[in-house]
Amino acid sequence: MEYNLADLFESVVDVVPDREALVYIDHPGTGAERRLTYRQLDEGANRLAHHLIDAGLKPGEHLGLHLYNGIEYLQTVLAALKARLVPVNVNYRYVEEELVYLYRDADLAALVFDAEFTERVAGALPRTERLRHLVRVGAAPDGAPALVATAFTEAEAAGSPSRGFAARSADDQFIIYTGGTTGMPKGVMWRQEDLFFAGLFGGEPAGEPVKRPEELAERVAKSGSGLTFFPAPPLMHGTSTLTSFVAFNYGQRVVIHRKYVPEEVLRTIEKERVTSVSLVGDAMLRPLVDALHGPLKGTDMSSLFSVSSSGAIMSDTVRAQLQALVPNALILNNFGSSESGSNGKATDDSGPEKGFRLEVNERTQVVDPASYEPVAIGEVGRLAQRGHVPLGYYNDPAKTAETFFQKGAERWVLLGDMATVDEDGIVTVLGRGSQCINTGGEKVYPEEVEQALKAHPDVYDALVAGVPDAKWGSHVAAVVQVRDGAAEPTLEGIQAHCRTRLAGYKVPRQLVITPGIQRSPSGKADYRWARSVAAEADGT
């Protein structure tokens, strides 16, 4: 047995087959839900895997998942891993042209898609020469284009529920496409062994990673049930799928919703006694806080022992509000990426005054991007991680050469985040170098300004971007969504607020009020949109 995710999952199934593994809750208000034990989830994945093999798909070929959250999503990931196919996440917000790019860039041979996306899939299909097998979840909408696709239920029925698969390898791949908020999406190629240790904590987030594959099931066999993990963002983002696999490695339960509806998230936490919920930043957390203050005040949150954010930072203000409402829970700002897995977590004193400070793992350093040597205390460098890192970007050797490097006997990944390190080894993340604003020769990182803006009592959400400026080269622009019922703040008021938290050159010189902040479904910032909105308002 190797560190292969399908092998590891099957080893857990074999020791806790009748334990509840997955709870799926459909559209809010319908009351529809499905519950699967580990044995049922395993058998469903076996059936689909056999169907895919019988359809002619070969080990190493790529299978796209163009789906909303559902049992079918995780079942398809497991089926791909069992059949030695490479699962590839597809952003369901993409329109036809974006899908053509991703389907082609990822060299998809097969696609499992939600019936709601039939028209977009049909439009993209003629320009994706390698894509030859389709599986549709749900009935095609009336009037949708005709597609030669196997119904998911038929694919399940046709396949055997038993295993009987060829031997697998730790070198089998898992591809996670990035969100593409700062450019075209890129496929991060992971060996499954590397992903197990870097993204799944080696099977033990709270302690020592396992030292041999068989140890995972041995630990599960000795443990009880009682933990419920709730990845609230879309499974199409790597963090949510990996959170589900963390739960499976524990032999514990996963709860998923089809779509994110804050009030229903709170009701599910109460009903299912959720112990750990994962979110992405203020965009997902703030509506929960508002609901707990308002219509769902008094909802029982006592089962929660952790609320974590990955992919976007929870502001200090919103984090403190949630902590007051759920005093017994750990409120965690985790830090990681598609290219590194987990890097660390924010310190207790992380916030607008001291910055976003991290306790990083032993594999993470701040390095000079030219020499790859560690920077001196207080100097600005780039975050980098060594050891269990990806193989590179699929179909992009140039970007791979820019991002991944060999240093001694170890492989490293150079991340996009600029940072400093202090004498205690605490890393302060300044922000993405690609989003850095150069104003009058000074560097401003948007994330730092956003933290200050979100501490304003009338600001609900905010993004910060640089806008061309004849005098300063660029100026700092704040794009702000105002809290319901609050008065619109003035630029002067925002500046006065920010000056108590930021150096003068970081204070916004432009304020744009917008009805809503555009983010990805998982809450990640869309800086291209923010820059466009600010530039249009400025007339540049």
Any idea which of 23-27, 237-241, 462-466 has the lowest mean pLDDT?
23-27
* Amino acid 453: pLDDT: 93
Q: What is the mean pLDDT of residues 286-304?
A: 95
Per-residue pLDDT of 465-497, as tens digits, reads 999 998 888 999 999 999 999 999 999 999 999
Are 182 and 133 contained in the same domain?
yes
Does residue 406 sit in the same domain as residue 497? no
pLDDT of residue 182 exceeding 70: no
Residue 105's pLDDT is: 96
Burial 197-236 (b: 16+ CB within 10 A, else e): bbbbbbbbeeeeebeebebbbebbeeeeeebbbbbbbbbb
CB 294 within 8 A of CB 483: no
Round to whole Å and give the CA distance between 31 and 454: 36
Does 174 or 470 have the greater pLDDT score? 174
228, 145: one domain: yes
Query: What is the rounded distance in angstroms from the CA atom of residue 139 to the CA atom of residue 19?
Result: 31
Who has greater pLDDT, 306 or 282? Answer: 306
Residue 334 lies in a domain: no
Please give the residue range of the domain that contains residue 532.
443-538
Residue-level pLDDT at 189: 98
* Contact by Cβ (8 Å): 74, 242: no
The pLDDT of residue 282 = 84
Pair (29, 165) in one structural domain: yes
**pLDDT tier for residue 280 given thresholds of 50, 70 and 90:** confident
The structure tokens listed for 33 are 């839900």
Q: Is the domain of 396 the same as that of 526? A: no
Binning pLDDT at 50, 70 and 90, where does residue 353 land?
A: low
The contacts of residue 293 (CB under 8 Å, 6+ apart) are: 325
What mean pLDDT do residues 164-192 have?
89
Residue 396 inside a domain? The answer is yes
The confidence score (pLDDT) of residue 63 equals 98
Q: Which amino acid is at 250?
A: Y
Residue 225 pLDDT greater than 70, yes or no: yes
Note the pLDDT of residue 512.
97
Predicted pLDDT of residue 289: 94
Q: Which of 19-33, 81-95, 251-265 has the lowest mean pLDDT?
A: 19-33
| Per-residue pLDDT, 184 | 76
Question: What's the mean pLDDT in 406-419?
Answer: 92
Distance CA 202, CA 387 (A): 13
Residue position matching structure tokens 């009682």: 226
On whether both 377 and 452 belong to a single domain, the answer is: no
453 vs 21: CA distance, rounded Å: 41
Strand partners, 229: 254, 276
Q: What is the pLDDT of residue 531?
A: 93
Q: Specify if 211 maps to a domain.
A: yes
Q: Are residues 404 and 450 in the same domain?
A: no
Indicate if 424 and 472 belong to the same structural domain. Answer: no
Domain shared by 422 and 489, yes or no:
no
The owner of tokens 């809750």 is 25
Above 70 in pLDDT, residue 351?
no
Residue 28, pLDDT score:
55
Task: Write down the H helix ranges in 83-176.
Answer: 96-105, 118-124, 152-158
Q: Which of 392, 410, 431 is the last residue of a domain?
A: 431
Please report whether residue 532 resides in a domain.
Answer: yes
Decide if pLDDT at 199 tops 90. Answer: yes
Over residues 259-263, the mean pLDDT reads 92
Residue 30's pLDDT is 64
**Residues whose CB is less than 8 angstroms from the CB of residue 408 and which lie 6 or more positions away in sequence, other chains included:** none
List helix spans (H) across 127-279.
Answer: 152-158, 192-198, 214-222, 238-250, 262-272
Residue ranges with strand state E in 409-469: 410-421, 427-432, 437-439, 442-444, 459-469
Last residue of a domain, one of 396, 431, 466: 431
Domain count within the chain: 3
Q: Specify the CATH number for the domain of residue 255.
A: 3.40.50.980
Distance between CA atoms of 414 and 185, rounded to whole angstroms? 17
C-alpha to C-alpha distance for 59 and 57, rounded to whole angstroms:
7
What is the mean pLDDT of the segment spanning 407-434? Answer: 90
Q: Is the pLDDT of residue 527 over 70?
A: yes
Q: Are residues 420 and 498 in the same domain?
A: no
pLDDT over threshold 80, residue 368: yes
**23, 65, 508 from 112: Cα distances, Å:** 21, 5, 45
Q: Which residues are CB-contacts of 357 (< 8 A; sequence separation ≥ 6)?
A: 346, 347, 349, 350, 426, 427, 428, 429
41-76 residue pLDDT tens = 999 999 999 999 999 999 999 999 999 999 999 999
Range with the poorest average pLDDT among 417-421, 471-475, 523-527 = 523-527
Q: Residue 349: inside a domain, yes or no?
A: no
* Rounded Cα distance, 185 and 88, in Å: 12
Please tell me the predicted confidence (pLDDT) of residue 501.
Answer: 87
Question: Is the pLDDT confidence value at 188 over 90?
Answer: yes
Do residues 51 and 155 make contact, with C-beta atoms less than 8 angstroms apart?
yes
- pLDDT for res 59: 98
Tell me the C-alpha distance between 351 and 149, whole Å.
Answer: 50
Encoded tokens for 284: 């997902």
* pLDDT higher than threshold 70 for residue 31: no
Residue 431 pLDDT class (50, 70, 90 cuts): confident
Residue that wins the pLDDT comparison between 248 and 539: 248
| 465/516 same-domain check | yes
**pLDDT (average), residues 82-97:** 94
Taking CA atoms, 481 is separated from 116, 512, 520, 532, in Å, by: 30, 9, 16, 16
Q: What is the CATH number of the domain that holds 473?
A: 3.30.300.30
pLDDT at site 121: 96
Could you tell me the pLDDT band of residue 520, with boundaries at 50, 70 and 90? confident
Q: How far apart are alpha carbons 17 and 41 in whole angstroms?
A: 9
375 lies in a domain? yes
401, part of any domain: yes
For the chain, the average pLDDT equals 92
507 and 400 fall within a common domain: no
| Any domain includes 308 | no
Q: What's the pLDDT at 47?
A: 98
Contact 121, 134 (CB under 8 A): yes
CATH number, position 408: 2.30.38.10
Final residue before a domain boundary, out of 431, 454, 476: 431
- Three-class DSSP labels, 319-355: HHHHHHHCCCCEEEEEEEECCCEEEEEECCCCECCCE
**Per-residue confidence at 352, pLDDT binned at 50, 70, 90?**
low
Percent of the chain with pLDDT over 90: 75
